[in-house]
Structure 1
């Protein structure tokens, strides 16, 4: 069954925690040992754009667990689009709420999560091992604080029919070719729509990979030195400004995550960066459009490399839970093959496991246009890359430091100024003199 979501934390509280200014998360956490079996366990998770995925949990998995264990699962569905993180922060600060959750931006409250190394190691052995990149997020000080569930892949989503009409038979392989294609399509009334607002996925999923493809990262590997202040950064900023002015729809500079879905499905744009939820919606509600949607990998940059950005889904157990062991038992149960494989299949690989045992899963072949999303697991990075994913990185994300660098350039600010402002913010956040 579902339970109403917890009240949202204020944005002030959220940013305070993101900046590491509060002492709540740093306090020691001691779980209460409760011998009696709990009546229920609350599982909080952001709602899926693929409705069948949530339906499968509600109608199949939750009843099965109650029948098997005698424990009711309260499925607390959180609204998509960035609202889940403040709710998770509120739970941590109040030491009340879900027992198990999709732990978005887990670096904000790792101290409030129990060690789940036993579960993560079991899951890894069961399914052929973990992709190494996700370990950089889930493991902290040698302990797994979350169990990676899956990645929501982000790729270029485009109208193949309009590209064909413009004489573009193959999706652009480089960012320069991408710009050329966008200029042609905008001239025909089909501009690109590349999100650059204060969202949490569709902006990061192309701007960070573009930056990396120019040979630039935000911080160095240690997280103690700003790497953004480079000549290549200026070239990347200038390119994005040109792309915006010559190939994109005007308002995309301020789009939040849902906006590009809406623009694409209402035929306002010919290309954006998104999960394959756009195709899911089109096939369901706009079948003719659904036939002409295609997906492509992000273009290569001047370095000759292409990159993608993870949108990771990890699950963790909160130390304030009245019965930590019962919560851990439930979490492990969700990863058992009898439960996990059908659950993943119900979402048509929208949630792609970070496990090599799913590399050749038959679900990848059901809809050939989905298969490129598997490549994301091999080429994607965390947005902190190559630096650690910690609270300082969380502040960079939640203040949109890098995103604003690009968007401000698109709306008139000089390249030199936007880079200097971003570098100044990074030094302040990371405490660098």
Structure 2
């Protein structure tokens, strides 16, 4: 349910070509269509060894199956693989150190805009991305946004999957609050949350520095009110009446929440939901996965009452959600660029990728369209809302170009803090907007 500690990550890392023991991954779905496309030739360097850096698990099979697939790669190629799993909040620092010192992992699986932050320090992956897209039905919109250099067909990163954050809720409690499901209207959604508080089953959303959860909530507040961080040309566009309405709405919604959300980390809402302290939150599939697979009848009963739905659209034409995306990069300093690219190709092929997708219960939803036919999406109707996580026009830095400024604004919590200052009473909405605009402009002007 929560990322493993750094100490445990190092202790559990893969070293000297011997991967952590794990159960064999489930078989790939027979339904995955694959075109007859010749694979690119990546001549693996003699004596190549790979060190891989990636975020730690939120669901156990993420690491177990990733390890098993990596072991399989090592057995087939003779390339030793070591994987370091790192706590999510520590990832930006780890990636920056590697990029700025010119030494470290041969494959870095970072988040979203990371390849654009370090575009001059990584090698292009266009040949690999074009091959995978041609073979597996093309890339979803969000994968193209995060993978390609802006206004170019050149791929800087290779998106491996994304976890979105729809509404996770207790159906019985929502009904007790007077609603049959999650309304798509913002005013009705506020009334639902007020009703949940009234019956002692409040909602909970993070506006702390909780990776994944807080940006998902803050961006939803913006996008559902028709606001974007920047316009199509990259000009900061927060200073609008709609932003003030979004801040007022956030303040009203905060009043319906369980106390303590401003100190939440990435696992806090998971714990609160499982403990029955909240009846509604916004999250990936990890909450449902932990409840469904628990060896505890009480938790299984909560899973039976747990449902998922898209966040209310408000002013948006599609669900105003993006996906926290795993985005792989190959640094220029690596001595084994071909081995690194071959490793990524191997991990994205159906015999490896679909068991990972399925074993994680869709936690990292597919970037390649043909994987939408995976059996995981028909195995449980409650997972359906996660199946199109990367089929979205929304992204960090929407609506502008993905640039280093995009990542810098996200990593400095500019949008999250804009809302946090208002809901905690530190600033009036207009003042908080001005501070956010100044902070965003500093990054977009450099």
> Does 1:165 find its partner at 2:173?
no
Query: What's the counterpart of residue 212 of structure 1?
Result: 223
Specify the alignment match of 2:63 in structure 1: 54
The residue that corresponds to 1:198 in the other structure is 209
**Conserved? CA contact 1:206–1:298, under 8 Å:** no
CA contact (8 A) 2:232 2:400 kept: yes
In structure 2, distance between residues paired with 1:113 and 1:52: 29
Per-residue CA shift, 1:4-60, capped at 9, x if unaligned? 599xxxxxxxxxxxxxxxxxxxxxxxxxx995332x2112211221211211122x3
Deviations 1:148-197, CA, capped at 9 Å, x for gaps: 11111211111112112223212122121111011111011111101111
- Structure 2 residue 125 is the aligned partner of structure 1 residue 111: no
Query: Any conservation in 2 of the 1:204–1:309 contact (CA below 8 Å)?
Result: no
CA distance in structure 1 between the aligned counterparts of 2:142 and 2:182, rounded to whole angstroms:
27
Does the CA-based 8 Å contact 1:210-1:301 persist in structure 2? no
Following superposition of structure 1 onto structure 2, how do residues 294-373 of structure 1 map, counting pairs within 5 Å?
A: 294-302=307-315, 306-373=319-386
How far apart are residue 239 of structure 1 and its match? Answer: 0.8
* Alignment-derived partner of residue 92 in structure 2: 85
Q: Distance in 2 between matches of 1:324 and 1:5?
A: 25
Look up the match of 1:390.
Answer: 403
Tell me if structure 1 keeps the 8 A contact 2:61–2:356: no
CA distance in 1, matches of 2:11, 2:146: 29
Residue 274 of structure 1 aligns with which residue?
283
Kept after mapping to 1: 8 A contact 2:55/2:91:
yes
Q: Secondary structure at the match of 2:204?
A: coil
**Aligned with 1:75 (options 77, 83, 96):** 83
Contact 2:244-2:429 within 8 A present in 1 as well: yes
Q: Confirm whether residue 427 of structure 1 aligns to residue 441 of structure 2.
A: yes
Cα distance change of structure 1 residues 429 and 57 upon mapping to structure 2, 3 Å threshold: closer
Maintained 8 Å contact 1:214/1:303: yes
Of 38, 45, 51, the match for 2:54: 45
Shift of residue 284, structure 1, vs aligned partner? 2.8
CA distance in 2, matches of 1:179, 1:395: 32
1:303 Cα offset (Å)? 5.5
Measure, in 2, the Cα distance between the counterparts of 1:103 and 1:71: 22
CA drift of 1:386 comes to 0.9
Instruction: Specify which of 146, 166, 189 is matched with residue 178 of structure 1.
Output: 189
CA 1:34–1:370 in structure 2 vs 1: closer, same or farther (change >3 Å)? closer
**Is 2:155 the partner of 1:144?**
yes
Q: CA deviation at 1:308?
A: 0.7
- d(CA) in 1 for partners of 2:438, 2:302: 45
Which residue of 2 is the match for residue 244 of structure 1?
254
Q: CA deviation at 1:64?
A: 1.7
Normalising by structure 2, report the TM-score. 0.85
Could you give the per-residue CA deviations for residues 111-161 of structure 1, whole angstroms, max 9, x where no partner exists?
221111111011101110111332122112542111111111211111112
Paired residues in the alignment total 400
SS in structure 1 at match of 2:387: helix
RMSD: 2.1
Contact in 1 for aligned 2:91/2:110 (Cα 8 Å): no
2: CA distance between counterparts of 1:143 and 1:196?
Answer: 35
Deviation at 1:395, TM superposition (A): 1.9
For the residues of structure 1 that align with 2:85 and 2:56, how far apart are their CA atoms?
5
Quickly say closer, same or farther: Cα 1:346–1:304, change in 2 above 3 A.
closer
The alignment's TM-score, normalised by the length of structure 1, stands at 0.87
> What residue number does 1:124 align with?
133
Match of 1:428, SS?
helix
Provide structure 2 residue ranges, at least 5 long, that are not aligned to the other structure.
1-8, 14-42
Counterparts of 2:213 and 2:405 in 1: how far apart (Å)? 21
**1:34–1:158 distance in 2 versus 1, CA, 3 Å:** closer
Cα 1:304/1:94, change in 2 over 3 Å: closer
Report the secondary structure of 2:116's partner residue. Answer: helix
**Aligned residue in 2 for 1:94:** 101
* Greater CA drift, 190-199 or 301-310: 301-310
1:15 corresponds to which residue? none
